[in-house]
Structure 1
């Protein structure tokens, strides 16, 4: 239990404290400017300040903290990926998530529930078996389970949806959820406590590059100089990189999800189907969350559509038929930046002193802690790339060294 929550419960007075200092003017210069005030940007700032003593840092957010993809995901945390590089990376992130509430003294509502991915064909079963072995090799708690075990784990699940009977399942015990806004605010308050400046409603309009080096940024509130900068802007990664004069191998697609009104608890694990391209989870408040694949066309928009709603609901009802009577409460969308190999781009850019945290597609939230930690190491080390993120460098696309995570989710990407 976080100590702040315990103190709150035992205190006779309301122990209110201001998480963030009041807004202030931009300074003329900073050692590090972080573009993007979502989970990743705030995490980088926190690890820079706490573990590397770099506190002359500005986080610039064009809207409000955590209001982009951080607020628009479904908060799933897992490490059951396909490649050894991906499994190692996300397994470290899971370990960091498990201790974040204590590190922040702030409850992020971390809940380890496990993730079950359903296999409907023999080919999928074979792929899942290989995936389970890779996960176990790197310390993950992942195994194959049969129909009987699935029925015991999720009694309400329909094991024979239409022409796609469930054959086996990939059971990932480390699967979890956390409150995405709590993660962002935890990083923000701890970074601010150590001197990091967080500027909301501050949009970066251009980048100042002199002699192939980034030396500053132009914002709607003025120009600031900096020793280096890192972009962590999720679905708008390509747009910002273009301002720096280079092109990223990224295409941005909308990604939608929806949630029902609360119902009585019936589902503890996170359940996804590789054939129906749908995943279902129930929140601690009883709401049932549906998610699936990204839209089939590139677009910079966070609108929701009737077509996706109908498709997701049809798949969810095949998995849990009684949900046909549930009432949908809301639907939303985010913007995913998809790379050709479905792995992120982390590290140096073609511009000196300008670092990349991009290409996260649908898996950015679960990488928040390890991304912050490794990017902070990279910046503090003057460009020395941590071993954990070395495979995700931008040059891999020119050198044919892709880290292929296609199919690492039970969705259409």
Structure 2
């Protein structure tokens, strides 16, 4: 099989789709005549690989299968639209300052892929390197920050603990006085951290995967997975049945439901994670700010909106509706950090679904059913991992071997007790 050309120039539109400034102005207002970023297809009866879930993880896996391994007979299935799940409901914060060596290596690879993603896909994903502050409000939290900083440094990741004076220099609007209920004693500062446009990342991967021959099927719900003698043989959808030698579960929220169709049971619970955004104001916050003690994180978009989030709701549910209790608690905690924001208005709030594992680390790779792979259990931090997860899962499919970078995240770790505890850096550590 001839490997497709994944170079950025290969993703440029053909000559007939390149427009003059006048054409761009006209088409921008009329929205007529633009080429589609990805195409619609009839569902084939056979694919080499079927990926369930058309979010960032599923699309990245499809892209790297085609770009890195020449595997193009691939179908991405989603019961909704591309990026309509967790990929479009997160706060788009990127970082790699995790707690365990396994986690740090993994997320640092993802961050490096993100940094070069616009060039690789020839698509503006709006990456903004702002720096990332994790605040410490007590001695215990400060010890954890120092621990994380040392683990990061050993892995070659730029992180350091800074004092309240340095925190104030980075974010003047933070209340760093000592007469507050939650004084800021210091912070873990991670300069490479930042934000990215989540929709643009999804669209970029989808466009590039489509260009390389991957078929994207929106509004195609999987209703069953066929297994024969311990090996996956295909999937059933409301549009028809498909035979496939490899099926990958890249869903969030419904990851357990999909895996159970193949007879694979996973220790995962699903909880809502809420977020909110304010009216736009003149940019003043140039660093991502996180407080694990107050369960809040905040960043500012290029449009001037403040994006807030908190920890997952304290109950399991599939609801994606916001709640007044969340808005009240969030507003109170944000004002403890930055009292000057008291006059700002919330514009909207929403929720996404988070699949939480017992050790707060993902489940990746093979399962007891041959040919059925999983890339699930991402909790509150799946968006950060999209590129490296897709790259590693593609390698796993193409080579038949677990890549070293995800070897510690296998499903079998729960039976053997080899857990990868990331709660100290992942519970609210956006």
Separation (CA, whole Å) in 2 of partners of 1:195 and 1:274: 43
Asked whether the equivalents of residues 76 and 178 of structure 1 are also in contact (C-alpha less than 8 Å), the reply is yes
Asked whether the equivalents of residues 134 and 429 of structure 2 are also in contact (C-alpha less than 8 Å), the reply is no
TM-score, normalised by the number of residues in structure 1: 0.96
Separation (CA, whole Å) in 1 of partners of 2:20 and 2:290: 41
Per the TM alignment, residue 9 of structure 1 is displaced from its structure 2 partner at its CA by 9.8
Among 211, 230, 243, the residue aligned to 2:248? 230
Separation (CA, whole Å) in 1 of partners of 2:428 and 2:116: 29
- Correspondence for 1:205: 223
Q: Which runs of 5+ in 2 are unaligned?
A: 1-7, 28-33
Query: Aligned with 1:51: secondary structure?
Result: helix
Separation (CA, whole Å) in 1 of partners of 2:419 and 2:395: 23
Q: How many residues align?
A: 409
Separation (CA, whole Å) in 1 of partners of 2:247 and 2:260: 15
What does 1:6-21 align with in structure 2 at a 5 Å threshold? Answer: 13-14=23-24, 16-21=34-39
- Correspondence for 1:315: 333
Among 228, 231, 240, the residue aligned to 2:258? 240
What does 1:381-396 align with in structure 2 at a 5 Å threshold? Answer: 381-382=399-400, 384-396=401-413
Per the TM alignment, residue 412 of structure 1 is displaced from its structure 2 partner at its CA by 8.9
Asked whether the equivalents of residues 381 and 426 of structure 2 are also in contact (C-alpha less than 8 Å), the reply is no
Deviation digits for residues 11-39 of structure 1 (CA, Å, limit 9, x no counterpart): 55439432112x22110100000000000
- Correspondence for 2:364: 346
Asked whether the equivalents of residues 76 and 176 of structure 1 are also in contact (C-alpha less than 8 Å), the reply is yes
Separation (CA, whole Å) in 2 of partners of 1:159 and 1:217: 56
Q: Does 1:97 align with 2:114?
A: yes
Asked whether the equivalents of residues 253 and 295 of structure 1 are also in contact (C-alpha less than 8 Å), the reply is yes
Separation (CA, whole Å) in 2 of partners of 1:292 and 1:211: 45
Separation (CA, whole Å) in 1 of partners of 2:328 and 2:137: 22
- Correspondence for 1:34: 51
Q: Which runs of 5+ in 1 are unaligned?
A: none
Per the TM alignment, residue 162 of structure 1 is displaced from its structure 2 partner at its CA by 3.1
Q: Does 1:63 align with 2:68?
A: no
Query: Aligned with 2:425: secondary structure?
Result: coil
What does 1:181-220 align with in structure 2 at a 5 Å threshold? Answer: 181-220=199-238
Asked whether the equivalents of residues 273 and 353 of structure 2 are also in contact (C-alpha less than 8 Å), the reply is yes
Query: Aligned with 2:72: secondary structure?
Result: coil
Asked whether the equivalents of residues 42 and 191 of structure 1 are also in contact (C-alpha less than 8 Å), the reply is yes
Separation (CA, whole Å) in 2 of partners of 1:412 and 1:85: 16
Q: Does 1:405 align with 2:422?
A: yes
Separation (CA, whole Å) in 2 of partners of 1:354 and 1:233: 13
TM-score, normalised by the number of residues in structure 2: 0.92
- Correspondence for 2:90: 73
Per the TM alignment, residue 130 of structure 1 is displaced from its structure 2 partner at its CA by 1.0
- Correspondence for 1:167: 185
Among 348, 353, 370, the residue aligned to 1:330? 348
CA RMSD of aligned residues (A): 1.8
- Correspondence for 2:31: none
